[in-house]
Amino acid sequence: MKIESIEIYGYGKWVDKSFTDIQDLQVFYGKNEAGKSTVMSFIHSILFGFPTKQGAGTRYEPRNSSQYGGRLRISETVYGDVLIERVKGKTSGNVTVTLANGETGSEDLLEKIIFGIDKSTYQALFSFDLVGLQKVQQMNQTKLNRYFLSVGTLGNERLLRIVDKFQQEANKLYKASGRVPEINQKISQLKQKEQQLKSVKARNNEYNQLQNEKLKLSEHLKQFERQQEDLERELAGLKRLSSNWAHFKEAQEIQNQIQKKALINLPEDGLYQLKQLNDELARIVTTQIKEKEQILQLSRKAGQDERFSFYLEYKDRFKEANLKIEQIKELMKKKEIVEAKQLQDQRYLEQLLHQNGLPIYGEIPEVLSTELKAEVQNLIDLQASIQEKEANLQQDKQRLNFQIEVLNQQIDQLENQLWEAKDFQEYQKPEVVPQRQKRTRKKQSKSFYAVAFSSLLSLVAGYLIGATLGVTLLIVGGLGLLITGYQVFGTKREKATTKTNEKYSYEEYIKQVEIRKQWREKLAEADDVTDALNYFTDQENQFNLEKQQFNRQHQQFSQKTMIPNEVSLEKLVVDDPFFEIRQQISVTERQELEIDALTKQISEWFSGVEFSQKIIGIGMENLATFLFSFQQFYLQQVEIENAQQHISQRVAEIRQELLLGEENQKVIEKNKKSLFASVDVTSEEEFRKKYVLYQELQQKKARLDLLEDQIAEDLILFTNYRDKEELIEALQTQDETLQLLKKKISSQLKQKAECEVALKNLEEGGQYSVLLQEFANLKSELQELVQSWSSLRIAAEIIEKTLTLSRKDRLPEMIEDASHYFNLLTKKNYQRLLFKDERIQVQRQDGSIYEVNELSQGTGEQLYVALRFAFIKNATDLLKLPLLIDDGFVNFDAERRSEIFQLLNEISQTNQIVYFTCSSESQKEFSKEQVKVLQ
């Protein structure tokens, strides 16, 4: 487990602070009050929970932020990369664990990630500081030995504290030479009561007779109890047979397997013979390597090198390949031309496919038959009919829409001119219309003179101007005079009847009647147009059904012929709309075949010279470059060969020796096969498996011996029973006999009790009874105290024995590693650690041996550090957690600090170490990447 990054939302002085890229050995440097202990406490809190308000630990709640908590990014866990976030919540805070796959969990998942240890155990094993080191010198020899030994097994410190507690409580109850403990006092009181009781018993005359009878009954009971013990022992033996029956059967099974898998004709030295043959093969291979080295040396003496030797070895192949180089060059050049032409044709083909709506990598539709062409023509005719209907329909709809739009505009204009219905109805009364006619004409009389005057001006101007404009003015003026005369005449006729001044004139009323008539006509006309539009909508729905039918037929045709819908139907009527595409495909296929043929010829040549790739030093990624380099290499080696001939004979001799070695190698391989055949196998793997089987049989024989040892005392008894059922039947019979005996014992006990009652009745006065009761009470109290004392002593002894057994597996390796670390930290002044009689001793370089309490403070601290680091190394297979150190080495001198930092680097290879320090000298021992400065 490794901490990759630290993100603090709010914790102590740190708010919104992040530390990323945490190294395997990470140093946090800062002066006092820089926040080192806060960061260390933050790591503890995220992993194990915030300290409770009632607890002794500091909570580090931030004063300048409402956020409390943060998160750690962890790697190298059993779940891979993990994000652990803890924020303020009930008791120790709310924790969220997010795995790399997005799954989340809480405390249960976190407990698995940190291997189930709690905060106190983590601080005891993986986190220490200067105070912890200094406490080492404050212990006596016994505590110091136990303290150092507690590092040997995970969780021992807690168990040893429990042992101490049990022993202290037991000593409060009893000490061999004590007077104050409760058991010591009770024993003294019991002895006094017993003396008093004996003196009182002597004064009783009949007591002895009853006592003799009681003794006889006790003897009988003892005999019965001995019989009971014998029966119980026999019953226990039968139960043991029953519980060991599986072992007995296993032993029989192993015997059968050994008999079935017995290996016949297996040489005892078979593996040795195989090793000898393999060694001989290795010797021959080594000789061959040396002989090849001789060839290289001879070549160098004659001015040759490895390249020339390689050439000589493959001379014929080089020569044959060189003869074809010019041909290969022509083939490569031709291939480039064909490939360029193919690329151009392929692009043109893709363009044709795109133009015809065909997929680039799909199949080309087949040429249409006569029946399919007729079907295409039907589709074309149907499409043309639909298009014509659609055009006519759209034209009619546009016309009607335009009409309805114009009518709506006209209706809107007319509605804007309409009177209120109330006014119009009032005007239609018979007595109102004549009066309004008169009033209207009176209003208009004043405007007639203005119109007459304007008309006269138009006549004069028209007469003066002449031409077209003058004629126009003469016409306008004449019309104006006529209209004015007519209105003047009408006005004089109705002038006498006009007396009132109403809202509307009679002309307006007449106009309103006309407007209302036009309005009703337009509404009726709009309704007709709307009905026509509804008709065309029905026609459009019918047309859409025809269009859908056409689309289905077209789709079915496309699926049947594999021709996309995008291809125009008119193109399909011709003989073959895809003729050019087919021709282009044929061209590209011929080009592909030609390229393949050229590639095959070229590849065959390059495959033949692939052996020379390594010696030439150029790969075949660029064939032209390799071709040039190959030709240059060949010409150079031919030139060297022509200049050097005298070395060839010696090289040939060595090659002959190489051939002889190969023959010997074949002989050895033949011998190996003969060896394999002797044990009825064909390969070395089968040969070794057979010997592994032999070893397995030996292990089974050892298991058989162990089982026979376990059941040795009962081996004869096992043969007395055919099967387990018969054994169980005998066990039940024995149990029934035991139960009968127990009933007899119960009867004797009853008689003894009656005798004891009679004894009690014969006792004189109440003094004896009181003393007897007091004696029984004291005896009962003493028994309870002794039982409590025994429980405490036995529990402490069991825990210590358990710890001793648990240390046997890991303690030797841990002591060895601790000796190495201690030797390193003390500049080899101390050679090793010794473990004897549950005590740790140290041996100096001169051979002197010291107890741990005899060491100086600095040496004791180094011993503590060595043991801590040795434990961490040996516990890596069980749990792998970061080690937190808070200025633990400030009391070390410069040389010792240098050694401890070297040791930290070594330990950090397997366990991440986070070191907090305020020493500027210490931070200089590490690289910049390993140091984070806190301010």
Interval 177-192 mean pLDDT? 80
pLDDT, position 72:
94
Instruction: Mark out the alpha helices in 562-577 (DSSP H runs).
Output: 569-572
Higher pLDDT: 707 or 637? It is 637
Alpha-carbon distance 825 to 891, whole Å?
13
Give the pLDDT of residue 40. Answer: 92
pLDDT at 521 over 80: yes
Nearest to 144 by CA among 156, 154, 135, 152: 135
Q: Which of 557 and 927 is assigned the larger pLDDT?
A: 927
Neighbours of 487 (CB within 10 A): 17
Give me the mean pLDDT over the 705-730 stretch: 66
Choose between 442 and 82: higher pLDDT.
82
Q: Tell me the two tokens of residue 148.
A: 């150092």
How many CB atoms lie under 10 A from the CB of residue 631? 15
What amino acid is encoded at 150 in this protein? S
Average pLDDT, the chain: 76
Mean pLDDT computed over 590-613? 83
* Separation CA 103–CA 14 (nearest Å): 29
Task: Count Cβ atoms below 10 Å from residue 808 Cβ, excluding itself.
Answer: 10
What was the pLDDT predicted at 629? 82
In this prediction, residue 151 has a pLDDT band, given cuts at 50, 70 and 90, of very low
| Confidence check: pLDDT of 4 > 90 | yes
Q: Between 366 and 497, whose confidence is greater?
A: 366
Model confidence pLDDT, tens digit, residues 691-704: 777 766 666 666 66
pLDDT at 461: 56
Q: How far apart are CA 389 and CA 368, in angstroms?
A: 29
Which has more confidence, 469 or 634?
A: 634
Parallel, antiparallel, or unpaired for β 883-886 and 849-851?
unpaired
Lowest mean pLDDT among 105-109, 153-157, 507-511, 774-778: 153-157
Q: How confident is the model at residue 6 (pLDDT cuts 50, 70, 90)?
A: very high
pLDDT value of position 634: 81
| Dihedrals phi, psi of 265, to nearest 5 degrees | 60, 40
Stretch 590-606: mean pLDDT, rounded?
Answer: 85
Using alpha carbons only, how large is the chain's radius of gyration in Å?
59
Quick: pLDDT tens for 78-89: 889 999 999 988
What's residue 757's pLDDT? 79
The type of residue at 575 is: D
Q: Are 383 and 569 in contact (CB under 8 A)?
A: yes
What pLDDT band is residue 494 in, cutting at 50, 70 and 90? very low
The three-state secondary structure class of 293 is helix
Kindly tell me if the per-residue pLDDT of 261 is higher than 60.
no
Cβ-count burial of 272 within 10 angstroms (0-12 exposed, 13-18 middle, 19+ buried)? exposed
Asked if pLDDT for residue 411 goes beyond 80, the answer is yes
The structure's pTM equals: 0.37
**Average pLDDT score over residue span 440-468:** 53
Residue 74's pLDDT is what? Answer: 94
Q: Where are the domains of the chain?
A: 317-364+578-604, 370-432+502-570
The residues with which 28 forms a beta bridge, in sequence order, are: 916, 932
Check residue 454 and give its pLDDT.
Answer: 61
What Cα–Cα distance (Å) separates residue 745 from each residue in 210, 478, 756?
Answer: 20, 164, 16
How many percent of the chain have pLDDT more than 70?
71
In angstroms, the CA 615 to CA 630 distance is 10
pLDDT at residue 446, rounded to an integer: 46
pLDDT tens digit sequence for 193-236: 777 777 666 655 566 677 777 788 788 888 878 887 877 777 77
Strands 883-886 and 913-917: parallel
Quote the pLDDT of residue 620.
Answer: 66
Residues 280-290: tens digit of each pLDDT: 888 888 888 88
What's the whole-number mean pLDDT along residues 477-485? 61
Name the range with the highest mean pLDDT among 97-111, 242-256, 309-323, 704-718: 97-111
Please indicate whether residue 147 or residue 336 has the higher confidence score (pLDDT): 336
